Amino acid sequence: MTESQFSPIIKDFNNLESSAINRVVVREDIVEIMYNSSQNVYTYTLNCENYANTIQECLDSKESLGKLINNSIKQKDLELKSKFLP
């Protein structure tokens, strides 16, 4: 999951207890998501601040990470940039 090799990782969320999301890597300017339903890594442009904190709060409160990501895409906080096989 390193298409954006030069952008530092802020937080790497893996081993998630999510039925939809396998792994999320938050970088300074992008978010890389690997869904359980696909081998591709989806790269999203990040259009909001403190997204790593938002994900952590979601996980801490046992809310749905898939719902958070889906809502973030709908609200344009995340915009699909590319997808690739790792």
Whether the pLDDT of residue 80 is over 90: the answer is: yes
pLDDT of residue 19: 94
Instruction: Give the range of the structural domain holding residue 17, as residue numbers without chain letter.
Output: 9-84
64-79: average pLDDT: 97
1 belongs to a structural domain: no
Split at pLDDT 50, 70, 90, the class of 5 is low
* Euclidean distance between CA atoms 6 and 84, whole angstroms: 17
Query: Whats the size of the chain, residue-wise?
Result: 86
pLDDT bin (cut points 50, 70, 90) of residue 2 is very low
The answer to the question of residue 54 being in a domain is yes
Domain count, the chain: 1
- Residue 13 maps to a domain: yes
pLDDT digits (tens, 9 = 90+) for 15-62: 899 999 999 999 999 999 999 999 999 999 999 999 999 999 999 999
* Residue 4 within any structural domain of the chain: no
